[in-house]
Structure 1
Amino acid sequence: MAFKLCILLAVAAVAKAGVVPVAPAGPVLAKIEDFDPAPQYSFAYDVQDSLTGDSKAQYETRNGDIVQGSYSLVEPDGTRRIVEYTADPVNGFNAVVNREPAVAVAPVVAKAAPVVASAPVVARTAPLLAAPVAYTIPRAVAARLNVPVGAPVVV
């Protein structure tokens, strides 16, 4: 009885296995004429979009197994990240990252319509900075800052 059970389980295992794919007879090789022993290329791009503020650039050159390049972009905090990189079979991939401080960008101002009648020019005699103003801290702000309610603040 055990022999019949072993035969039944073996037949079930073979049936469950299904069809096994067969590998090709020989190795698949790339065509020799498609292989370039000393590849060479060079490319570059530069994006400067004043509408969206997108600013990035990249260039790269390859001569055989040696690749050199650089890319730069403006990060969300306004700093410019510049990455200069090289890759070769001896040293591998190496990158040097530099950051430049944020550059203040002047906002785009719409051109105003020309003024037909000009107003008289009045000399300004008042100081540009006003005298200090004292006010009391509101209750909610005082609680958050842990100061007494009604404490005077000079601004």
Structure 2
Amino acid sequence: MFSKVLCLAALVAVVAAQSDHDHGHHHGYSSQHISRHDGKPEKVTVHVKDKHGHGHEIHDYYAHPKYEFEYKVEDKHTGDHKTQHEHREGDDVKGFYSLHEPDGSERHVDYHSDKHTGFHATVKHSTHHLVPEHHHHHH
């Protein structure tokens, strides 16, 4: 999961930078921050039986997953505006993301996940209404 997020953040940054470079505009930017705090890997032994009933051990290493990342893209030329922040401590993941929809509204998603309740997300849409100006004619 972490490597997928890292790849996505890098891809977003490259696309945003390439877009600005190709069009000669320097109005957009992207930023990202990733902190990993995984624990020390510990050896885990699992006893398994094959289809013939013979037992054997499988050894693997497990490190307590802990990370935090965030990224942001703001490109006035293309209208691409998005941000995301996520924090993981073991099996608990919490985060949010927001983005500007093509219709001008903003989507805000708060999410969390753990091994007991699964994944849950709350989605909210914000609409920015344009108020027309009234011109008063003075005679």
Normalised to the residue count of structure 1, the TM-score between the two structures is: 0.45
Aligned-residue RMSD, C-alpha? 2.8
SS in 2 for 1:78: coil
Question: 59, 62, 71: which is aligned to 2:88?
Answer: 62
Q: What does residue 149 of structure 1 align with?
A: none
Q: For residue 52 of structure 1, report the CA deviation from its aligned partner.
A: 1.0
Q: What does residue 86 of structure 1 align with?
A: 112
Aligned pair in 2 of structure 1 residues 85, 51: CA closer, same or farther (>3 Å)?
Answer: same
Between the aligned partners of 1:90 and 1:102, the Cα distance in structure 2 is: 38
Q: Quick check: which one's strand share is greater?
A: 2
Q: What residue ranges of structure 2 are gaps of 5+ in the alignment?
A: 1-54, 131-135
Corresponding letter in the other structure for 1:84: D
Q: What does residue 45 of structure 1 align with?
A: 71
SS in 2 for 1:32: strand
In terms of Rg, which structure is larger? 1
Q: For residue 128 of structure 1, report the CA deviation from its aligned partner.
A: 4.1
Q: Identity percentage over the alignment?
A: 42
Corresponding letter in the other structure for 1:55: H
Between the aligned partners of 1:103 and 1:55, the Cα distance in structure 2 is: 18
Q: What does residue 102 of structure 2 align with?
A: 76
Which aligned segments of 4 or more residues in structure 1 are displaced greater than 6 angstroms?
none
Residue correspondence of structure 1 range 4-153 to structure 2 within 5 A: 29=58, 32-33=60-61, 35-36=62-63, 38-102=64-128, 128=137
Between the aligned partners of 2:113 and 2:56, the Cα distance in structure 1 is: 31
Aligned pair in 2 of structure 1 residues 81, 28: CA closer, same or farther (>3 Å)?
Answer: farther
Normalised to the residue count of structure 2, the TM-score between the two structures is: 0.50
Q: Do 1:77 and 1:102's aligned partners in 2 also have CA atoms closer than 8 Å?
A: no
Q: What residue ranges of structure 1 are gaps of 5+ in the alignment?
A: 1-25, 105-126, 130-155
Q: What does residue 116 of structure 1 align with?
A: none
Q: Do 1:42 and 1:61's aligned partners in 2 also have CA atoms closer than 8 Å?
A: yes
Corresponding letter in the other structure for 1:32: D
Between 1 and 2, higher relative CO (CA 8 Å, sep ≥ 6) is seen in 2
